[in-house]
Amino acid sequence: MHSSPFDLYHTGISPVHGLDARVKLVLALAFVLCVSLTPVGAWPVYLLLLAVTLSAAELAELGLGLVLRRSLLALPFALAALPLLVTLPGPTFASLRIGRFLISISGPGMERFVSIVFRSWLSVQMAILLTATTPLPDLLVAFGALRLPRLLVAILALMWRYLAVLIDEALRMMRARDARSGCVEGRGGGSLRWRASVTGAMAGSLFLRGFERSERIHSAMLSRGYDGTIRSLSRQPPDSRSWRLMVLGLAVLAGLLLLGYRLG
Amino acid sequence: MTDRDCLAIQIEGLRFAYPDGQVALRDISLCVGPGEHVAIVGPNGAGKSTLMLHLNGILTGQQGVVRVGDVEVTAANLRLVRARVGIVFQNPDDQLFSPTVFDDVAYGPIYMGLSEPEVRERVSLALRQVDMESYAPRTSHHLSLGEKKRISVATVLAMDPQVLILDEPSAGLDPRARRKLIVLLQQLRQTMLVSTHDLRLVQELCSRTVVLDQGGIVADGLTSVLLADEQLLRAHGLEPI
C-alpha cells in the first residue's frame, strides 16, 4: 500500500514546475498577503487576481478542473463569515422569512461576505498551485531558506514522511478487522458498545506502534550521528532569472494592491 | 582467542537487563577480526538485536566492555564510535526518515561534519555502490522493500564505516531482491556482523557463525561446521538447511 494524502504534487514539465521553489513560496505568500490586504468590494482587482491564479494554473498545465475541485476546500471557511450578512448595519439588500423570524441581509454585509469568500477562495487556489507544482521536499528546503526554524522544518519533514506510513498501518489494521468480520446468517455484527471498544483498542494500538516506531527511528538517527541539533546542506542561491521573476511578481502584486486601494 | 582476532570488535563480559528486569545479555565475550563476516543466529528473543545495539552505544551495558578498533564504547566516545559502526536496521521505514533518498544518504556524512562537496561525493559513491544512483531525488515511501533495503545499506556506506552491522537483512525480501542484496553484501570489504534467521544467507556470506540463545553465546565457530550440526541448530530454535 502506498497511500499518501499528502502527495499533492502533480508531476509535469512546465515553466511553473521549473521555477525555484523558494521563489514560488515567496510569491505565493506575497499573493496571499496581497489578497488579504485588498479592500472589500474592489471587484476589478479581485478579477485580476483570479486571472493571475487561472493563468498560472493554465501555464502549469494543471487543468482548471483540478484547481477548482481542490479549491472547494475553502468552502467550509465561508461559514465563519456568514454572521456578517446579518450583523453589519446598512440598507437592506434582501429579506428572508424563516417561520416567524424575518432575517434581513444588509447591503454592506453582503458585499463584505462575498469579498471574504472570494478572497479566501483565491488564497486557497494559490496554495493549491504551489503544492501541485512543487515537490514537498523542495518546499521544505524553501521553508528553511525563508528562515523558518530548522526544528520546525524537521518536524514537518518527519510528519510528512511518517503520516503516510501510519495511514498505511491503519489501513492494514482495518483490512485485517474486515477480513475477520464474518457474519453468520441472522447473527453476528456484535453490539455497538463492543464494536466501539474494538475501534478504541485499534486506535490505542496504532498509537503504541507509532510510539515504538518513533523510538526505533530515534535509534536510527543516533546511529548516524544525530546529536540533538538539526543540520542540513546549504543550497545554491536562486539564479538571476529567478530573482528577476520574483521582483517582477512582487511588483505586479504591489501594483494590484495599489489599484485596489484606488478603487476601494 | 588471540589478541589479533580482537582488532575490529572486542566484547568482554557484557551484561544487559531491560528496565523491567528481563536479562537480555549475560556475560557475552566476543572477538572479531578486521574484514571478518560473522553471523549472529539464534531464536527470537535470544538477544541478537540487543547485542547489535551495544556496538554503537545506542544501548550501554550495565557490566562489561565493548571496543570498536582501539576505541571503547563510552558516552564520551559515542560520536567517534558511530562514525565507525554503521547499523542497518531491520525495518527500512525506520532507517529512511528523510523526505528524499539523497537527504537520507547525506544524513550521516552531514553529522560527521564533512564539507558540502565531500557530502555530495559520499552520497553519489554510496548510491553507486548499491546500484541506485538514479534514485537520489525519489521519496523513500514510494520504493519497494528491496529498493528501500539497498538505500538503507547506502545510508551507512556513505559514512565509510569500518564495521557494518545488519539486522535481519533478508527479512521480507522476494528471491530476486534477496539475491541482489547478497551479491551486494559479498562485495563489501568491511567487518560485518549479520543478525539473521536466514541460514542460507549465512552460508553464502559469513565464514564464521555465533549462536546466541537466552542472552548467552552457546556456540562460536566455522559456519560450515556449525551449520552441519543439526542437533545444535534444533536445540536453539533453528532449522538445518
Q: Tell me the average pLDDT across A40-60.
A: 92
The burial of B91, by beta-carbon neighbours within 10 Å (0-12 exposed, 13-18 middle, 19 or more buried), is given as: buried
Residue of A nearest to B112 (CA): A225
Residue A92's SS3 state is: strand
Distance from CA of A219 to the nearest CA of B (A): 6
**Burial degree of A35 (CB within 10 A; 0-12, 13-18, 19+):** buried
Its ipTM equals 0.82
Please name the residue of chain B whose CA is at the shortest distance from the CA of residue A157.
B99
Is A219–B86 a contact, with Cβ atoms under 8 angstroms apart? no
Q: How many whole angstroms separate alpha carbon A245 and alpha carbon B122?
A: 35
Cα distance from A118 to chain B (closest Cα, Å)? 34
Is B111–A224 a contact, with Cβ atoms under 8 angstroms apart?
Answer: yes
Residue A165: per-residue pLDDT: 87
A125-134, A169-178, A198-207, B132-141: range with lowest mean pLDDT: A169-178
Closest C-alpha among B171, B167, B145, B146 to residue B156: B167
Distance CA B108, CA A96 (A): 66
Query: In this predicted structure, what is the pLDDT of residue B2?
Result: 46
The answer to whether B107 faces chain A, any CB pair under 8 Å, is: yes
A209 touches chain B (CB under 8 A): no
- Give me the sign of the Cα torsion angle A42, A43, A45, A49: positive
Which of chain A's residues have a Cβ under 8 Å away from the Cβ of B149? Answer: none
Q: Which residues pair with B67 in a beta bridge?
A: B10, B72
| pLDDT value of residue A88 | 79
Q: What's the pLDDT at B1?
A: 45
Are the C-beta atoms of residues B128 and B115 closer than 8 Å to each other?
A: no
Q: What band does A11 get if pLDDT is binned at 50, 70 and 90?
A: confident
B53–A219 C-beta distance less than 8 A: yes
A185 touches chain B (CB under 8 A): no
pLDDT for residue A5 is more than 70? no
Interface contact A232, partner B, CB < 8 A: yes
Query: SS3 sequence, A78-89?
Result: HHHHCCHHHHCC
Q: With an 8 Å Cβ cutoff, are B58 and A222 in contact?
A: yes
- A84 contact B CB<8A: no
Cβ-based contacts of B84 with chain A (< 8 Å): none
Task: Please name the residue of chain A whose CA is at the shortest distance from the CA of residue B160.
Answer: A224
Picking from A219, A232, A234, the nearest residue to B58 by CB comes out as A219
Instruction: Name the band, by pLDDT with cuts 50, 70 and 90, for residue A2.
Output: low
Sign of the alpha-carbon dihedral angle for B116, B122, B125, B127 = negative
Q: Which residue, among A78, A60, A77, A80, has the nearest Cα to A8 in the 3D structure?
A: A60
pLDDT given at position B222: 95
Residue B185's identity, in one-letter code, is L
Which is more confidently placed, A6 or A118? Answer: A118
Beta bridge partners of A103: A96
Q: Is B56 on the interface with A (CB under 8 A)?
A: yes
All residues of chain B having their beta carbon less than 8 Å from the beta carbon of residue A233 are 106, 110, 116, 119
Q: What distances in angstroms separate CA B97 from CA A132, B80, B93, B189, B233, one per listed residue?
A: 23, 22, 7, 27, 37
What grid cell was written down for B69?
578498533
Inter-chain residue contact A220 with B93, CB threshold 8 Å: no
Q: Scanning the structure block, which residue is given the C-alpha cell 491503519? A: A170
Contact A158 B97 (CB under 8 A): yes
Q: What's the rounded Cα separation, in Å, for the pair A65 and A60?
A: 13
Is B141 in contact with A4 (Cβ distance < 8 A)? yes
Chain A hits for B86, CB-CB cut-off 8 Å, are: 223-224
Q: How far apart are CA A58 and CA A67, in angstroms?
A: 10
The residue ranges of chain B whose pLDDT is under 70 are 1-4
How confident is residue A80, by pLDDT bands cut at 50, 70 and 90? confident
The domains of chain B, with CATH numbers, are: 3-93+163-235 (3.40.50.300)
Question: For the segment B175-226, what is each residue's pLDDT rounded down to a tens digit?
Answer: 999 999 999 999 999 999 999 999 999 999 999 999 999 999 999 999 999 9
CB within 8 Å of A250: residues ≥ 6 apart:
A26, A27, A30
Asked whether the beta carbons of residue B141 and residue A165 sit closer than 8 angstroms, the reply is yes
Q: Residue A107 — pLDDT band, cuts 50, 70, 90? A: confident
CA–CA dist B33, B129 (Å, integer): 24
Q: Which of B79, B89, B116 sits opposite A234 (nearest CB)?
A: B116
By C-alpha distance, the chain B residue nearest A220 is B95
The dihedral sign for the CA sequence B149, B154, B159, B165: positive
Buried b (16+ CB within 10 A) or exposed e, B150-166: bbbbbbbbbbbbbbbbb
The strand pair at B63-68 and B71-72 is best described as: antiparallel
Q: State phi, psi for B154 to the nearest 5 degrees.
A: -65, -35
CA A89 to chain centre: 34
Give percent above pLDDT 90 in chain A: 39
Which of A136, A137, A220 lies closest to B89 in CB terms? A220
Most confident by average pLDDT, A110-114, A133-137, A172-176, B211-215: B211-215
- Label each residue of chain B as H, E or C: CCHHHHCCEEEEEEEEECCCCCEEEEEEEEEECCCCEEEEECCCCCCHHHHHHHCCCCCCCCEEEEEECCEECCHHHHHHHHHHEEEECCCHHHHCCCCCHHHHHHHHHHHCCCCHHHHHHHHHHHHHHCCCHHHCCCCHHHCCHHHHHHHHHHHHHCCCCCEEEEECCCCCCCHHHHHHHHHHHHHCCCEEEEECCCHHHHHHHCCEEEEEECCEEEEEEEHHHHCCCHHHHHHCCCCCC
Mean pLDDT for all residues in chain A:
87
How far does CA A236 lie from the centroid of its chain?
27
Q: Residue A95: helix, strand or coil by DSSP?
A: strand
Residue type, A261: Y
pLDDT at residue A200 above 60?
Answer: yes
